[in-house]
A and B are shown apart, each in its own frame.
Chain A
Amino acid sequence: MALSLRSAFRKTWQTLSSIKTGVVLIILVVIFSAAGTVILQRPITDPDDLQRAYSPGMLRFLDATGLSDVFHARWFIALMILVSLSIIAASVQRFPNAWRYFARPYKSPDEGFRRVLPVQAQIPIRDEEQGLGAAERALHHYGFKSERIVRTDSFSLFSEKHRISEMAVYIVHASLLLIFLGGIVDALYGWRGFVMLSPGTSSNHIELKNGSTRALPFSIRCDATGEETYSDGTPKKWWSKLAIVDNGSDALRKEIVVNDPLVYQGVRFYQASYGRTGKLDQLVLTATPADGKGAAQDITLKMDQIVSLDADTKVQVAEFIPDFVVQDGHVYARSNDVVNPAVHLIVSSAKANRVVNVWLPEISGIAENASSPYTFQPKDLKTELFTGLEVSHEPGQWEVWAGVILMAIGLTFVFYVVHTRFWVVPVQDARGQLTLWVGGSVNRNRDAFEATFKKVVEQIQSELKPVSAAAEEKAAASIAR
C-alpha cells in the first residue's frame, strides 16, 4: 500500500514536472484568461448591464461556473497554483543536474568526451609546455583566463566564462514564483477601499470594495483639495493636501496628485476622484432693505454662521438643499447633486423679537419672504469640495517588484550571457604525433561561438609559430657553436 502510494506520488510528480504538463497548463490559462476578457466580468460590470447582455439562464450558468468572475474563481486560482507547482516540480527535477554542472565544472575532458565534442580542433605541437603556453596566451588574448589542470596522468588547460548562465533559467523561474507569492500574499492580506474627505475633515474608516468598513490605527485628514484645468476645460491636475494623524499629532504631510500617492505604514492613499458634495460651503447674497431705505449690500454666508445686516437684524443659513422637491408642504432633498438648490434663511430682528423664515427660491406655503425686512438675491453659491481617495494595502507588492527585477536579471542571463568553455589537452594522435586538442562549448548561440573558436585556434597557431621559429634558430645557433 505504502509502495503504491509512493509510486502514485512519483507519478504525479513526474507528470507535474514534464514540459508537456507545463504547456497544457499554459494553454488552459490562456483559454480561460481570454474567456475572462470576452465575457463581461462581475465586479467591474454593472449588474444591470450583465442582465441586459445575457439571458437569465445564461447568467445563471456563468455565475455557477464562475465564468462571470474568472479571475477570482476558485478553479482559476487552483489552476494558477497548479502552474506554480508545475514550475516548482520542473525546476526541482532539473535543478540537481544543473547544479552539479554549475558547482563542479567539468575541467579535464576524457577521451570519450573529446571524441564527441562538436567544436574541436587539433594543432600539431612539439612539446606539451610549448603548446599549453601558446594556448594560454591565445585565450588570454581573447579575454579568457585559463587554469592549468594537473592530474596524475595528464596535464591540461581549462578556461570558462559566465558559468552563472547555467543557473539563469532557475533565476527566471524563481522570479516568477516570487511574483506569484506576492500576488497570493496580496490576495490574502491585502485590501482596497475608498474614503471621501472634505477639506478640514479627517477619517480613519475606509469603505472596502466588498462593502465592509475597515478602521485604521491612524486617521487621514484633508487640508485642502483642488483641480486645475486646461484652457479647454479638460482636467489637468487634481491635488489634495493630506496629513496623517497618528496618536494625536501630524505624523506625515503630503500634497498628492494622480500618479503620486501618499504612503504611511504600508497603506497608500491615491488621488482617485474629485468633486463637489451637496453641502454648502459658502453663499453670497445681495440683501436689499424691503422698505427701500438704505443701500443694498453683499453678504457671505456659511453654514451655522450668523451675519448682521444692520444693528438690529441678523441672518443665518438654516438649511441647504442641493436638489429640492416640495411635497405636502414639506421640502425634501431628491439628490446630492446641486441641480435645483434651495436655501432656508432665518432672518431675526432683536427689537421686534421676530423670526422670519425666508426661502430662496420662494416656496409658497412655507416661505414668509413677504414679511422679511430684507429681500435677498442669490449671487454666488459654492458647495463643499471633496477628494476621493483610493486606499490600498498591498503587503505583497515588494515580492512582486523583487520578482520583476530578478526576472529582468534572469532573462538577461538567459538570452545574452553565454557560458563559454575551452579545454586544451596535449594528446598523441593516431600516428603518434603530439598534438594540442582544443575543444570548446557554449550553452547557446553556437554559430557565433564557432567563429570565435576558429579565431582562438588561429591565434594559438600564430602564437606557436614565432616560438618554434625562434627555437629552431636557437637550435641552429647551438649547432653552429
Chain B
Amino acid sequence: MARARAEQQPATGTTLIVMVGLGIAFLLFMAFLNVVKSGNLLNEANLLYAALIFYAGAGALYLGFGVTGTDSYIKFASLATWAGLVANTGAVAHRWYEAGHPPFASLYEMLLSFVWTLAALTLIAEKRYGVKVIGTVTMPVAIVGVVLMQLLRSEVRPLVPALQSTWLHVHVTLAMLAYAACALSFALAMMFLIQDKVKTEVFLAATSIFTVGIYAAILTRFERWGGFNVVAWDAENKTEVFLSRGVRLFVTIPDLGWLMLLVFAAVASPLVLYILARVRKNEGFLNVANRAVFISILLQTLALVFFLLRARDGSYPSLDAEGLYPTALAASPFILSALVGGIFANLLYLLLLWRREDLERLLPDAENLDRITYKTICIAFPLLTLMIAAGAYWANRAWGSYWNWDPKETWAAITWLVYAGYLHMRITRGWRGRRAAYFAILGFAVVMFTFFGVTYLLPGLHAYA
C-alpha cells in the first residue's frame, strides 16, 4: 500500500505545479491587460500586480520544493520572493509618495505594509535561520493579502484630522511588525508539530475543523430556497449599501446557498470519517477521509469559482427592499478570503500527507524549530507591548484618554495577555514543544481576530482600521 502511494506521488505533484503554473499565466495575462488599459507601466496597481505574480511564482516554487524536494527550486523561489519584495517596495514607496503619509491609514494600506513585512521576514527566516520551506506557508498568505487588496478601496483618501499624527504611524508600524512576527511564529509552530511526529491524521482533524468552521460561518448567510446573502455594493461610491446606520443591505444570490451547503457536507465528511476512525479504531476510515479531503478541495474550488462568477458583478433581489441591487466581490472580501483560506489549508494538508518524509528531511529539527518559535515570540511580544503603548499615547492626544476599552484596544490587550501567558508557561513552567506550539497557534488565531474580526464584526472607535 505504502509503495503504491509512493509511486503515485510524482504524478500528483506535477499536476499541482501545472495547476499553479496555469494560474500564474492567467495572472500574467490579467496584468498585461491592466498595463494596456492604463497605459502606464510603473503605477501602484501594476507594481502590485508584479509583486503578486512574483509572490505567486515563489509560492508555487516553494510548494514545488515541498512536494519534490528539488533543492534548485528554493533558489528560484528566493529570487522570486526578492523580485516580489522589490515590486512591493515600489508599490509602498509609490503609495507613500502619492498619499504624503506612510501607508497605514486604511485596511488596504495596512495590508500593503503587512505583505511587505511578511515577505521581508520570510527572506530573513530563510537566510538567517535556514528555515527554507517557510515560504510554503507565508507566500500563500502574502498572495491572499495582495488579492484582497485588489478588492479593497485603494484610492488615496485624505486623512481626517484624528489620523494626522506621527504616533499613529509609530503605532501601526509596530502593529504590522508584531503581527508579521506572530504570523511567523505560527508557521514555525506548525512546522514544529510536523517535526515533533504529530500524527498526520491530527492535522487532518485540525484542517477539517478549520474548514468546517469556515463553511459554518459562510452558511450563516444561507437564505430560504437555497439563496445566499451577500452585501449590496454601490459601485459609484465604492461602498457597501446601508439601509440605516450600521445596517447593511443584503441581496440574495439564488441557488448559491445549495452549493455552499453541499460543500459544507463535503468538508465535514473527512471530519466525520476521522471521528469514526477514532471511535471504531479502524485505520481504514482514514484512507477514505484522505480521499474525501481531495474531493472536498475540488468542491471548494467549485464553490469559489461559482462565487466569483456570481458575486463578481450582477444585480440580485433583496428581502429587505424592492428591486434589484448590484453586488461586487469588494462587498464580500471576508467570504472570499475564507473560501481561498479553506482551499489553501486543505492543500497544505495534502502536501503534508504526500510529502511528509521530504518535509521532515528538509525542515530544521524539532528542537531548533521550538527555539526559533520562542525567539520570534520574544521579538513579537515587546513589539506588541510598544504597539499598545504607542496606540494609547496617540489616543490620549486625540481623544483625551489613553484607554477607552473599545473592542480593538481590548482585543489587543487580550492578544498581549495570551502571549504573556505563553511566556510565563515557558519560562516558569518550562513548557516546551507541543504545548508551547499549540499556545503559539492560539496566539496567532487571536491576532487574526484582532486584525480582521474586530474591524468587521465589532463596533468601536477604530473605524478607520
Q: Given A37-B407, A407-B385, A258–B164 Cβ distance below 8 Å? A: yes
Q: How far is the CA of A63 from the CA of B420 in the complex (A)?
A: 32
Choice from B157, B161, B402, B406 contacting A257 with Cβ under 8 Å:
B161
Q: How far is the CA of A159 from the CA of B418 in the complex (A)?
A: 37
Q: Given A259-B164, A408-B382, A408-B385, A390–B458 Cβ distance below 8 Å? A: no
Of residues 360 to 413 in B, which have CB atoms within 8 Å of A's CB atoms?
Answer: 371, 378-379, 381-382, 385-386, 389, 392-394, 396-403, 405-407, 410-411, 413
Q: Given A36-B405, A37-B411, A391-B400, A23–B382 Cβ distance below 8 Å? A: no
Is B454 an interface residue when CB atoms closer than 8 A count as contact? yes
Choice from B386, B389, B413, B420 contacting A33 with Cβ under 8 Å:
B413
Query: Which B residues are in CB contact (< 8 Å) with A462?
Result: none
Structural contact, B161 and A237, CB atoms closer than 8 A:
yes
Is B278 an interface residue when CB atoms closer than 8 A count as contact? no
Q: How far is the CA of A394 from the CA of B393 in the complex (A)?
A: 13
Q: How far is the CA of A102 from the CA of B401 in the complex (A)?
A: 39
Query: Which A residues are in CB contact (< 8 Å) with B200?
Result: none
Is B165 an interface residue when CB atoms closer than 8 A count as contact? yes
Q: How far is the CA of A257 from the CA of B417 in the complex (A)?
A: 35
Q: How far is the CA of A30 from the CA of B417 in the complex (A)?
A: 8
CB-CB nearest in chain A for B390: A404
Is B158 an interface residue when CB atoms closer than 8 A count as contact? yes
Is B162 an interface residue when CB atoms closer than 8 A count as contact? yes
Q: How far is the CA of A129 from the CA of B164 in the complex (A)?
A: 67
Is A55 an interface residue when CB atoms closer than 8 A count as contact? no
Q: How far is the CA of A199 from the CA of B173 in the complex (A)?
A: 39
Binds A, one of B16-24, B344-352, B424-432: B424-432
Choice from A392, A401, A408 contacting B400 with Cβ under 8 Å:
A392
Structural contact, B397 and A260, CB atoms closer than 8 A:
yes
Structural contact, B429 and A408, CB atoms closer than 8 A:
no
Choice from B392, B400, B418 contacting A390 with Cβ under 8 Å:
B400
Structural contact, A400 and B421, CB atoms closer than 8 A:
no
Q: Given A232-B158, A259-B161, A268-B400, A415–B424 Cβ distance below 8 Å? A: no
Structural contact, A23 and B401, CB atoms closer than 8 A:
no
Structural contact, A270 and B400, CB atoms closer than 8 A:
yes
Q: Which of B158, B405, B406, B407 gathers the greatest number of chain A CB atoms within 10 Å?
A: B405
Structural contact, A23 and B424, CB atoms closer than 8 A:
yes
Task: Report A65-89 CB contacts with B as 1/0, cut-off 8 Å.
Answer: 0000011000000000000000000
Query: Which B residues are in CB contact (< 8 Å) with A19?
Result: 424-425, 428-429
Of residues 211 to 266 in A, which have CB atoms within 8 Å of B's CB atoms?
Answer: 230, 232, 234-238, 257-261
Query: Which A residues are in CB contact (< 8 Å) with B162?
Result: 258-259
Q: How far is the CA of A261 from the CA of B399 in the complex (A)?
A: 10
Query: Which B residues are in CB contact (< 8 Å) with A238?
Result: 161
CB-CB nearest in chain A for B165: A259
CB-CB nearest in chain A for B403: A183
Q: Given A33-B410, A407-B385, A412-B382, A23–B398 Cβ distance below 8 Å? A: no
Query: Which B residues are in CB contact (< 8 Å) with A38?
Result: 458
Query: Which B residues are in CB contact (< 8 Å) with A331?
Result: none
Q: How far is the CA of A408 from the CA of B411 in the complex (A)?
A: 20
Structural contact, A37 and B382, CB atoms closer than 8 A:
no
CB-CB nearest in chain B for A194: B400
Q: How far is the CB of B78 from chain A (nearest CB, A)?
A: 26
Is B205 an interface residue when CB atoms closer than 8 A count as contact? no
Q: How far is the CB of A388 from chain B (nearest CB, A)?
A: 12
Structural contact, B410 and A36, CB atoms closer than 8 A:
yes
Query: Which B residues are in CB contact (< 8 Å) with A404?
Result: 389, 392-393
Structural contact, B385 and A29, CB atoms closer than 8 A:
no
CB-CB nearest in chain B for A40: B459
Structural contact, B418 and A30, CB atoms closer than 8 A:
yes
Is B160 an interface residue when CB atoms closer than 8 A count as contact? yes
Query: Which B residues are in CB contact (< 8 Å) with A183?
Result: 403
Is B275 an interface residue when CB atoms closer than 8 A count as contact? no
Query: Which B residues are in CB contact (< 8 Å) with A70?
Result: 405
Query: Which B residues are in CB contact (< 8 Å) with A270?
Result: 398-400
Q: Which of A237, A407, A411 gathers the greatest number of chain B CB atoms within 10 Å?
A: A411
Q: How far is the CA of A19 from the CA of B424 in the complex (A)?
A: 8
Task: Report A329-349 CB contacts with B as 1/0, cut-off 8 Å.
Answer: 000000000000000000000
Structural contact, B420 and A26, CB atoms closer than 8 A:
yes
CB-CB nearest in chain A for B371: A447
Structural contact, A23 and B425, CB atoms closer than 8 A:
yes
Structural contact, B410 and A34, CB atoms closer than 8 A:
yes
Q: How far is the CB of B214 from chain A (nearest CB, A)?
A: 20
Q: Given A230-B158, A235-B161, A23–B421 Cβ distance below 8 Å? A: yes
Q: How far is the CA of A235 from the CA of B157 in the complex (A)?
A: 11
Q: How far is the CA of A394 from the CA of B386 in the complex (A)?
A: 21
Query: Which B residues are in CB contact (< 8 Å) with A392?
Result: 400-401
Structural contact, A192 and B385, CB atoms closer than 8 A:
no
11 contacts between A and B (CB under 8 A): A23-B424, A27-B421, A30-B414, A30-B418, A37-B407, A37-B458, A236-B161, A258-B398, A270-B399, A411-B381, A412-B382
Q: Considering the complex of A and B, which 10 residue pairs feature the smallest CB-CB distances, nearest first?
A: A258-B161, A37-B407, A392-B400, A71-B405, A230-B158, A404-B389, A259-B165, A415-B378, A270-B400, A411-B382
Interface residues of B (CB under 8 A from A): 157-162, 164-165, 167, 371, 378-379, 381-382, 385-386, 389, 392-394, 396-403, 405-407, 410-411, 413-414, 417-418, 420-421, 424-425, 428-429, 454, 458-460
Given contacts A19-B424, A26-B421, A270-B400, list 20 more A-B pairs with CB under 8 A. A26-B417, A26-B420, A34-B410, A37-B411, A230-B158, A257-B161, A258-B398, A259-B397, A260-B397, A261-B397, A271-B161, A390-B400, A391-B400, A397-B396, A397-B402, A404-B389, A408-B382, A411-B381, A411-B385, A415-B381
